[in-house]
Amino acid sequence: MADKNLNLPAVYVRDEKTVRASFWVKLGRVAGKIPFAEDAAAAWYCAKDPKTPLRVKATLMAALAYFVVPTDLVPDFITGLGFTDDATVLMAAIGLVSSHLTDAHRKAARRALGLPIADNDPS
């Protein structure tokens, strides 16, 4: 059987591996402390969606990898500032690919985070 990652850029493969190993662990640890937890989870679901184009997946995985990697521009443990760079990177990525982030991705994110979902939500 051929390696399914054979044609993917090496950076994407590395980012996807990093995110797969650490995303939910880190998000679970900090979700109540960051205002962008729902956006991060929605980005995860969009990046894992088989219908999402590879360039969109790569953009989101790079932003999510920045979030999960413990060494970044502003260390996460700095109260009040620690996640500002993570939020900026994630919001920039989402801004670039927002047309691919669907109601289904957002609903899955809310469900995963234990947040209420509106009864009239079509997704």
Task: Look at residue 2 in the predicted model and tell me its pLDDT.
Answer: 43
Residue 119 counted as domain residue:
no
Q: Give per-residue pLDDT as tens, 108-118.
A: 999 999 999 87
**Within a domain: 61:** yes
Query: Has residue 57 been placed in a domain?
Result: yes
Q: Is pLDDT at 6 greater than 80 in this prediction?
A: no
Q: Which domain holds residue 75?
A: 10-112
Report the predicted TM-score, pTM, of the whole model to 2 decimal places.
0.81
Which tops the pLDDT comparison, 30 or 101? 101
pLDDT-derived band at 106 (thresholds 50, 70, 90) equals very high
- Does 122 map to a domain? no
Q: What is the pLDDT of residue 83?
A: 77
Q: How many domains does the chain have?
A: 1
Confidence of residue 1 (pLDDT cuts 50, 70, 90): very low
- The answer as to whether 118 is a domain residue is no
Task: Establish if 3 belongs to a structural domain.
Answer: no
What local confidence, expressed as pLDDT, does residue 73 receive?
54
DSSP 53-80: -HHHHHHHHHHHHHHHSS--SS-TTSTT
Helix spans in the chain (H): 10-30, 37-48, 54-68, 84-97, 103-112
The string of pLDDT tens digits covering residues 25-76 is: 999 998 988 899 999 999 999 999 999 999 999 999 999 999 998 765 555 5
pLDDT of residue 15: 92
